Amino acid sequence: MAGTTFRKTNAQYLADAPLFANVSPEKLQLLGSLFFRKSYKPGEIIAEQGEVGRVFYVIARGMVFLERHTAGGAPTPIAVLVPGDITGELAMIDQMPRPARATARTVVHVLALSAADFQYHILGDHDLCLALLKSMALNIRMRTKDVVGLRSQRVESRIIEFFQTHADESGHVVLKFPQTQLAELLGCSRGALSRCMRHLEEMGQLKNLGHRRYLWKTSK
């Protein structure tokens, strides 16, 4: 198993995911018993683009990059997934090949659910099915336009996760790409990224050193 072990029960991890926010503790326990655990080292592929999806994932720990690959071209970043996020839901619904590759950026722990259990326990549950549709719609909105104020806290949590992961021992982070690409990678608009970074600078947690260099200050 890669990295440290899981530190919570499956039901506790599911409770942290927005998809399951309104699920009763009893149902979370039932659902938790259906998920199996998997761990990945940095750089390992969790789900490959083009394969037929047979597993649905909930991120329990770490950071996952979603990228779309084309023949002869550089991969296109789609989003960064952090704990509480889900992936693989589209393949569970339409049984089509996965549209992107999911790769572990750090040590990653996931909860995984088979397609059969997903269709019976998620799609077969009215409330969970509705929550899934809302989650998918929100992801589409975030990746196609700037939704002012919508999920701003969620965007900030992704930025924090990114800088925490990329900071060296002294807290320095060097971006190897422009902020426009960082916004694409984090699944938000350029404007939302700028606003959240300014807020972090005002709070004294992030300092812009210029030339794509930043100093991340770990909270005490």
Instruction: Look at the chain and report how many structural domains it folds into.
Output: 2
Contact 142, 188 (CB under 8 A): yes
Phi first, then psi, for residue 127 (nearest 5°) are: -65, -45
Quote the pLDDT of residue 215.
Answer: 92
Judge if 29 and 117 occupy the same domain. yes
Listed residues 100, 128, 144: the one ending a domain: 144
The answer to whether position 3 is within a domain reads no
Quote the pLDDT of residue 212.
Answer: 85
Listed residues 84, 119, 144: the one ending a domain: 144
Judge if 17 and 86 occupy the same domain. yes
- Domain containing residue 111: 10-144
Radius of gyration of the chain (CA): 18
Summarize pLDDT for 98-134 with one digit per residue, the tens.
888 999 988 999 999 999 999 888 888 888 888 888 7
The answer to whether position 122 is within a domain reads yes
Contact 189, 146 (CB under 8 A): yes
Tokens of 82: 């952090």
Q: Report the DSSP pairing between strands 45-47 and 76-81.
A: unpaired
Quote the pLDDT of residue 1.
Answer: 45
Tokens of 80: 């960064």
- The DSSP element (H or E) to which 57 belongs, if any, is strand 55-61
Phi first, then psi, for residue 183 (nearest 5°) are: -60, -45
Low-confidence ranges of the chain (pLDDT < 70): 1-4, 138-154, 187, 219-220
Summarize pLDDT for 163-177 with one digit per residue, the tens.
887 788 888 888 877
- DSSP 3-state assignment of 181? helix
Listed residues 110, 125, 144: the one ending a domain: 144
Quote the pLDDT of residue 4.
Answer: 59
Q: Measured at the alpha carbon of residue 119, what is the angle toward residues 115 and 125, in degrees to the nearest 5?
A: 145
Judge if 24 and 78 occupy the same domain. yes
Judge if 113 and 185 occupy the same domain. no
